[in-house]
A and B are shown apart, each in its own frame.
Chain A
Amino acid sequence: MVKKHWYIVVALMVVASILMAACQATPTAAPATSEKPSGKLEIFSWWTAGGEAEGLNAIMAVYKGLYPDVEIVNATVAGGAGTNAKAVLATRLQGGNPPDSFQVHAGLEVEKYSPSQYLVPLDDMLDPAVYPADLLAMLKYEDHYWSIPVNIHRSNVLWYNKTVLKDAGIEAPQTMDEFMAALETLKGKGYIPITMGTKEGWEGAHVFEGFLLSFLGPDDYIGLWKGTTAWSDPRVTSALEAFKKMMTYVNTDNAALTWDGAAQYLTTNKAAFLIMGDWAAGWFASQNFTDFGWAATPGTGGQFVALSDSFALPKGAPNETAAKAWLQVAGSKAGQEAFNPKKGSICARTDCDDAAFQAVPATYDYLHATAAEWKTDRIVPSIVHGAATIESWATAFKDTISLFVSSGDVAKTQTSLGQLCVDAGVCK
């Protein structure tokens, strides 16, 4: 008898604890009525590494200086191009548990978040006068601005190790033919001609978007995503062929490495080239590596494949007052001047001072040159980084290129790419 009672007590305790856990209400911050923001502010991003994290800390420091009463919660989820962060975020938004503000690539990527349902339009917080028209066009979706841009990155950059290139006796290549010749020379010299990490699955597609632009030119490249250029175009075939050829010069262990792991071959004078967005500049700086040079991805000189990180305000943000103040800082000159030199990107605003960038000598040369090109180059949206198309298409595009890396089947890949356009409802 005593034994049975004991069981009942234990069982009741279990039941009680389940009920307690179930009843634990989600903490809701009291709506801040005062003008001065206070409480907690959760900022969600995928900036966890090197220069990116330093940049984020710098802009948070600016915020902290203005609003000392706010405690910033830096919620980051690691993973290049935000692949993992976006997955976590999707769940949180649907579950009604949004962060106060989150990072999103400027462009059609915002479609993923069904903005009219989940986001607050920020038309009154974005001053169109201080942003370039190309960027504003990228940001607008369903006639509203849904996020505040903090920076501009360039995707089509060919990085090289100066010492290695000098040793091999070659100049930075401008055209695709020169590039292929250079790769062959480097291979003969015993270097890894071009280093690449493909572990996360987006890196191959990142390189390939530069190749597409190289063969199609800006108008037809954009046309691919609007349905005005056919995916069966012979120039797409050429881009695939060139990409396939380039892959034969890549380090054989690329599948084991992330992009920064692969970039280590470049910083240690083992590899010559790396095609990666210009966040690589910030990463090089964080590794104290200064012996790098850069050029546009072969055949894309005078064109700027752009992507922009921005911050959005979800509906039902727990601390909206503090979040709006954060967006104000993110869009401000001071905020962007603190953030960008460390992140290794240029300001989204057009009025940042060059002096702010001189403060970080490691990336200054690159950013100074790029800021100038941003003003003169033709701006083209990036695919892989959310600017050119909706996320589901971009994801399927990445998968297709990832398959192509191993299959090398040009005809089949081109057919699949065309099918993706149909699936997205853009092509017929």
Chain B
Amino acid sequence: MHLNQKYRLYSILLIAPSVLAILVFVYGFIAFTGVASFINWTKMKIDFTFVGFNNYIRLFQTERFLIDLRNTLTFTVLFLLITIVIGLLLAILVDQNIKGESLFRNIFLFPMAFSFIVTGVVWRWLLAPGNEITGALGVNLIFEKIGLGFLANGWYTDPRIGIRAVVIAAVWQYAGYIMALYLAGIRGIPVEIVEAARVDGASEINVYRHIILPLVRPITLSAVIILGHISLKIFDLVVSMTGPGTGFSTDVPAFFMYDTTFRGNRFAEGSAIAIILLLLVAILVVPYLINSSKVEVER
């Protein structure tokens, strides 16, 4: 008994600093940002005049913000869908007991090692369209050389493509990571189940459809959460790759938040954007948290 109490004291003592730090530096600052989004803070000097929802109302009247929300939606949907599909396909391919498996695995995983800044700069060059005088550049030049010149386009400089060009870079970076997740999942499936299906005469396609895919479903959920919160908060990739783009066609709320807060000095409105972003991420993450805590209780 005495020993147990001692350990209890230890654990409380050990956990206290990080709990305190998280309380202050995470939840404290979230609360402060929440307060800041309801006051009239438009200069460097803070002004605590309460203005209600004015900052939010103003935001939703700002065209740039509405474009940003649309861009985020487009980006999130495309990024999640394409990354997960490609990641899963790569995992299935790599899982076929091919020669040099670890080499391929590493090649696909490698982009993960870069920061978004590096990815952004590289893809900015690759997707630079060139113009009438310089002729095609980067990917457009490749298209032209292999006789697919009709595919050449303005990429991120074309407002009709805009944020979709950024999706290409983001997918390139994260597809390998999702592959690794799925590969781990597939490898974790007991061989007996798969073998049993084969013995029962299931075709390879059916093995995947009815055995493997249902068993890796939890992985898909994690992938959606991981990619989803990355995509809602995306900032560095956009900054280094395109900037806000023609008519804000590649702009995202995080970038607008930075502009509004630190360039425009409208700290209150910047806070309002931050709170909206927080809510968006919460919509995505909270169901997952509730779900996983339920699972833990069941165990």
Interface of A toward B, CB cutoff 8 Å: 8, 11-12, 15, 18-19, 83, 86-88, 90-91, 93-94, 111-114, 117-118, 190-192, 198-201, 251-256, 265, 270-271, 391-392, 395-396, 399, 402-407, 416
CA of A87 to CA of B265, assembled, Å:
9
Q: Mark B40-55, 1 if CB is under 8 A from A, else 0.
A: 0011110000000000
User: In the complex, are the beta carbons of B43 and A112 less than 8 A apart?
Assistant: yes
By beta carbon, the residue of chain B nearest A392 is B264
User: In the complex, are the beta carbons of B247 and A406 less than 8 A apart?
Assistant: yes
Segment of B96-104, B131-139, B223-231, B273-281 engaged in the interface with chain A: B131-139
Note all chain B residues with C-beta closer than 8 A to A198.
Answer: 246
Does residue B144 face the partner (Cβ distance < 8 Å to A)? no
Selected A-B contacts with CB under 8 Å, 22 pairs? A11-B14, A12-B14, A19-B17, A87-B263, A90-B44, A111-B43, A192-B132, A251-B131, A252-B157, A256-B128, A256-B157, A270-B134, A271-B133, A391-B263, A395-B259, A395-B264, A396-B264, A399-B64, A403-B247, A405-B246, A406-B248, A416-B63
If A8-B10, A87-B262, A391-B265 touch, does A256 touch B248 (CB 8 Å cutoff)? no
User: In the complex, are the beta carbons of B247 and A117 less than 8 A apart?
Assistant: no
Note all chain B residues with C-beta closer than 8 A to A253.
Answer: 128-131, 134, 154, 157
Does residue B266 face the partner (Cβ distance < 8 Å to A)? yes
Does residue B271 face the partner (Cβ distance < 8 Å to A)? no
CA of A198 to CA of B18, assembled, Å:
45
| Total residues of chain B contacting the partner, CB 8 A | 39
Note all chain B residues with C-beta closer than 8 A to A254.
Answer: 157, 246
By beta carbon, the residue of chain A nearest B124 is A256
By beta carbon, the residue of chain A nearest B160 is A406
CA of A111 to CA of B134, assembled, Å:
43
Note all chain B residues with C-beta closer than 8 A to A114.
Answer: 43-45
Does residue B34 face the partner (Cβ distance < 8 Å to A)? no
CA of A114 to CA of B154, assembled, Å:
43
In the complex, besides A90-B262, A403-B248, 16 extra interface pairs with C-beta distance below 8 angstroms are A12-B14, A15-B14, A87-B258, A87-B263, A112-B43, A118-B45, A191-B133, A201-B244, A251-B131, A251-B132, A254-B157, A270-B134, A395-B260, A402-B244, A406-B246, A406-B247
User: In the complex, are the beta carbons of B263 and A395 less than 8 A apart?
Assistant: yes
Note all chain B residues with C-beta closer than 8 A to A191.
Answer: 133
